[in-house]
Amino acid sequence: MCKRTSSRARTGRPRSAEADTAILEATRAALVELGWSKLTMGDVATRAGVAKTTLYRRWNNKNELVVDAVAVLFDELELPDLGSLQADIENVVLQFAALLERPETKTALMAVVAESTRDEPLRRRIRASIVDRQKRLVLDGRQRAQERGELPDERDPATVEAVDDLIFDVVAGAVVHRALVSAEPVDAAWVARLSALLLGGLGAAAAPAQGLSGAS
């Protein structure tokens, strides 16, 4: 079992996975019912059936707790091998859209993103705990597509990183805007159009960066 680490040393009893799960579930439930401004560590502790000191042994503040409560939901996303890059993309986008439809995900994500606009440490934690962790999907998908011969085998680390960042930003940005801002359905037809648009540009995505580097 993978053990979670903390930025500061902890003492006392070993952490309980069951307690962590109960706390994170209680956090999401409280967000849906109360909203960000009314959620407190004390309320979460009561809902989870643990002492408030238990929360503070694990998380320094509400911001850290809520980000972790959201992050575990995104860890549910998977990238099964469906035989083609297009099928892989469409599958994970539909998973992502279904995840955003869940009230606990929608409320928690919108809350932490809004709060992070005025809280730089929170923004960094969101990036480390959610964004950077979920880039695994892009990395895995890209590697699989290269092994199939669907994408060129780019070896320049800077170009690879830049393109992977762009893919993640385009997919995540499009789905979040469609589902949470425009409140439009992310259905199979829309996802097919998104994947066609993305695949049409992937072959040329590295060219501008290579051109700029060659001109410098």
The one-digit pLDDT tens for each residue of the chain (216 residues) are 444 444 444 444 456 788 999 999 999 999 999 988 899 999 999 999 999 999 999 999 998 999 999 999 999 999 999 999 999 999 999 999 999 999 888 888 888 888 899 999 999 999 999 999 999 999 999 999 999 999 888 788 888 888 899 999 999 999 999 999 999 999 999 999 999 988 887 554 444 444 444 444
The encoded tokens of residue 75 equal 């860890």
Convert 123-132 to b/e letters by CB count within 10 Å (16 or more is b): bebbeebbbe
Q: What is the pLDDT of residue 170?
A: 93
Task: Identify whether the C-beta of residue 64 lies closer than 8 Å to the C-beta of residue 119.
Answer: no
DSSP 86-130: HHHHHHHHHHHHHHHHSHHHHHHHHHHHHHHTT-HHHHHHHIIII
Q: What is the pLDDT of residue 108?
A: 85
CA distance 70 to 52: 20
pLDDT per residue over 61-96, tens digit each? Answer: 998 999 999 999 999 999 999 999 999 999 999 999
Q: Provide the angle, in degrees to the nearest 10, between the axes of the packed helices 62-74 and 103-116.
A: 130
Q: What is the pLDDT of residue 203?
A: 52
**pTM for the model:** 0.80
CA distance 146 to 8: 40
